[in-house]
């Protein structure tokens, strides 16, 4: 019946607006069909006997409740008919017993769904958990290109809405829409068998017309609902954006201006909300008219049958109650249809994330990286980012085991790309990156990243304790080892001043700490990991001169006997490197020791001289 109803809706709207086509309807239905198919597979995949038993029991209780709901009015009808006949002097007692049975059946009819929801709740939660965890893990497994092209908040909202859609679709389709159709069939059968086909026709016709009108009006008012949601999102976005930038607002004395911008957004939302609610009241009025028309037709037919002596006085109550019972779940049909469509779209969007393929994936035969010496080799590597014309071209160098090599060069020369290729965030488009002679494309990503420690320029921390963030690379580290790494990174002062020491929360993204403190936490994290290869990507750029000197000592100690790649903008931080590689336009412009490059008098020497002049000027300008 569902498909025929949808076809009728499409026909009505086509005739009225001339805007919708069969393909439009098919495109709307297909996400629902796909989402329901995925939902069935997900529920069917709950492979524990307990969960499957709960699903079966919940469906059984749903059917039992419908039997009680449809059968209760018939018990009441027999009771009233028997009482009104007056032929049996003991019928008063029978009537009271019948009333008790009627009340019990109504209670069971309404109470069974409550028990059903309680029984089914673990199934719903498990389905949501499995889907949410699967998508969350899959998104983490996707490559860096995916994450750079997506807004983190949007991705999370997609997962959140998709997981919530699983619960909604399960409950409404399995326990509302489906059972309502079953109840309609049962009610029509009971009315037809007991009172005649005309009563069944009235009930079925009323429900069909009610459904068509409800879905048609719901489709029409969707645009008003979208306008209201868009206005709500705009108002919320303006409010959050303004509050997050409160310092800028105050600095420019723009409080009144921001308040007025928010006022305009809220005014737009209020206007859209009025329009949306007006269309909702129109829908409610149309539904009420159809319901009462059907009820009046049913009562009129029953009255006519009573006048002809083919029905008793109690039967008019029975047919009325049957109709009213059908109207109960139908009252939320418009809401349910709109939400089912939206939930189907949300669920499809979540599963679309699962369909994303990682651009960097381990080979089926990939083995764990075997690190013996920690030698790093870039062999004629070429790589160009999407949307860019320039990148790395024919870059070759080797970092011998236990040595330190620095990569320097102007912005955009490819320094960060080299780090990402070493971590295998990207694969080279030509050439190869090797560790101890093993091409990184032939080993697992996890083993590659386990062998490398990174201290980035911008250290982003989790909203957890100092200890948690320091131990992130080695979660099994002992408190003593965490404390030692913190001391090596010169964090003693911060820990001593913190209210709870190492158990102090650092805030979202570590914003309770200064930039220098965050960088020292990043250094402690890398030191505690104790990797075979250490990468320092502008690792002291946020530190003051005194702290930088202290941390550089710690980094020099950590680099001893360890293969180290240093990426730096400030040349003074790499003067002691065993070799310095100068990149320009994605190529190796020159290489050698600090002294040799200065003596050469080319790119490196020019950069050194320019930075020296800038530092001297800065010193002169200090009052």
pLDDT band with cut points at 50, 70 and 90 for residue 224:
confident
Indicate whether 548 pLDDT > 60: yes
In 3D space, the residue among 522, 385, 412, 513 whose CA is nearest the CA of residue 457 turns out to be: 522
Indicate whether 183 pLDDT > 60: yes
Q: What is the mean pLDDT of residues 201-228?
A: 82
State how far the Cα of 52 lies from the Cα of 45, in Å rounded to an integer. Answer: 9
- How much is the pTM? 0.63
What class is the 376-451+531-621 domain? alpha beta
- 569-604 pLDDT per residue, tens: 777 778 888 888 888 888 888 888 888 888 888 888
Asked whether 428 and 382 are in contact (CB, 8 A), the reply is: yes
Q: How many CA atoms lie within 13 A of 468 on its CB side?
A: 11
pLDDT band with cut points at 50, 70 and 90 for residue 14:
very low
In 3D space, the residue among 316, 81, 290 whose CA is nearest the CA of residue 195 turns out to be: 316
Q: What is the mean pLDDT of residues 541-567?
A: 74
pLDDT of residue 13: 33
β-partners of residue 537 are: 567
pLDDT of residue 617: 58
pLDDT band with cut points at 50, 70 and 90 for residue 18:
very low
Considering the domain delimited by 2-355, tell me its CATH architecture. Answer: Up-down Bundle (1.20)
Domain ranges of the chain: 2-355, 376-451+531-621
H/E element, 191: helix 178-195
State how far the Cα of 134 lies from the Cα of 362, in Å rounded to an integer. Answer: 18
- What secondary structure does DSSP assign to 446-470, as a single string? HHHHHTEEEE-SS----SSBHHHHH
Over the chain, what is the mean pLDDT? Answer: 78
pLDDT band with cut points at 50, 70 and 90 for residue 15:
very low
In 3D space, the residue among 309, 70, 32 whose CA is nearest the CA of residue 172 turns out to be: 32
Report which of residues 44 and 554 the model is more confident about: 554
Asked whether 555 and 520 are in contact (CB, 8 A), the reply is: no
β-partners of residue 505 are: 465
Using CA atoms, how far residue 49 sits from 46, 52, 115, 260, in Å, is 9, 5, 19, 59
Tokens linked to 42: 């997900």
Indicate whether 279 pLDDT > 80: yes
β-partners of residue 590 are: 582
Three-state DSSP class for residue 409:
coil
Indicate whether 22 pLDDT > 50: no
State how far the Cα of 441 lies from the Cα of 363, in Å rounded to an integer. Answer: 8
Q: Which residues contact 578 (CB under 8 A, 6 or more apart)?
A: 400, 403, 404, 405, 593
Residue 419: what are its φ and ψ, rounded to 5°?
A: -65, -45
State how far the Cα of 352 lies from the Cα of 38, in Å rounded to an integer. Answer: 12
């Amino acid at each position: 019946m569902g498909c025929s109803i949808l076809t009728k809706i499409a026909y009505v709207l086509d005739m009225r607006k001339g805007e919708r086509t069969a393909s439009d309807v098919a495109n709307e239905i297909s996400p629902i069909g796909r989402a329901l198919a995925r939902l069935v597979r997900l529920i069917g995949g709950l492979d524990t006997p307990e969960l499957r038993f709960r699903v079966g029991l919940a469906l059984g209780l749903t059917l039992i409740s419908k039997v009680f709901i449809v059968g209760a009015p018939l018990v009441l009808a027999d009771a009233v008919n028997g009482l009104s006949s007056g032929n049996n002097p003991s019928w008063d007692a029978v009537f009271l017993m019948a009333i008790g049975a009627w009340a019990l059946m109504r209670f069971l009819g309404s109470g069974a769904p409550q028990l059903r929801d309680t029984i089914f709740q673990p199934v719903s939660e498990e389905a949501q958990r499995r889907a949410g965890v699967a998508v969350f893990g899959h998104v983490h497994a996707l490559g860096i290109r995916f994450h750079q092209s997506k807004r983190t908040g949007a991705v999370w909202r997609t997962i959140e809405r998709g997981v919530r859609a699983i619960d909604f679709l399960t409950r409404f389709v399995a326990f509302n829409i489906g059972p309502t159709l079953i109840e309609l069939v049962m009610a029509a059968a009971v009315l037809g068998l007991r009172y005649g086909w005309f009563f069944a026709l009235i009930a079925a016709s009323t429900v069909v017309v009610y459904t068509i009108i409800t879905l048609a009006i719901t489709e029409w008012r969707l645009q008003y609902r979208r306008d209201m949601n868009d206005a709500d999102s705009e108002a919320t976005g303006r409010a959050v954006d303004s509050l997050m930038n409160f310092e800028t607002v105050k600095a420019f004395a723009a409080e009144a201006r921001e308040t007025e911008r928010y006022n305009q957004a809220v005014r737009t939302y209020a206007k859209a909300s009025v329009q949306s609610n007006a269309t909702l009241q129109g829908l409610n009025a149309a539904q009420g008219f159809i319901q009462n028309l059907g009820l009046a037709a049913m009562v009129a037919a029953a009255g006519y049958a009573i006048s002809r002596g083919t029905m008793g006085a109690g039967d008019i109550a029975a047919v009325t109650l049957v109709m009213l019972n059908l109207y109960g779940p139908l009252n939320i049909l418009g809401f349910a249809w709109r939400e089912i469509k939206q939930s189907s779209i949300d669920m499809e969007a979540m599963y679309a994330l699962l369909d994303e393929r990682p651009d960097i994936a381990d080979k089926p035969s990939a083995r764990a990286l075997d690190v013996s010496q920690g030698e790093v080799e870039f062999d004629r590597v070429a790589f160009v980012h999407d949307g860019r014309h320039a990148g790395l071209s024919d870059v070759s160098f080797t970092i011998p085991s236990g040595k330190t090599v620095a990569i320097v060069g102007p912005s955009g020369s490819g320094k960060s790309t080299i780090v990402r290729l070493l971590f295998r965030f990207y694969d080279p488009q030509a050439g190869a990156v090797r560790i101890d002679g093993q091409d990184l494309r032939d080993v697992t990503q996890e083993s590659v990243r386990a062998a490398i420690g990174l201290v980035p320029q911008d250290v982003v921390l989790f909203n957890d304790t100092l200890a948690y963030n320091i131990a992130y690379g080695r979660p099994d580290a002992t408190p003593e080892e965490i404390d030692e790494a913190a001391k090596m990174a010169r964090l003693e002062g911060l820990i001593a001043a913190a209210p709870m020491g190492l158990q102090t929360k650092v805030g979202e993204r570590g914003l309770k700490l200064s930039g220098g403190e965050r960088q020292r936490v990043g250094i402690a994290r890398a030191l505690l990991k104790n990797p075979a290869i250490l990468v320092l990507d502008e690792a002291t750029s946020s530190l003051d001169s005194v702290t930088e000197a202290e941390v550089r000592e710690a980094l020099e100690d950590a680099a001893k006997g360890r293969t180290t790649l240093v990426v730096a903008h400030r040349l003074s931080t790499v003067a002691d490197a065993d070799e310095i590689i100068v990149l320009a336009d994605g190529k190796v412009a020159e290489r050698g020791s600090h002294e040799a490059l200065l003596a050469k008098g080319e790119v490196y020497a020019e950069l050194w001289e320019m930075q020296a002049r800038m530092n001297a000027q800065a010193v002169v300008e200090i009052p």
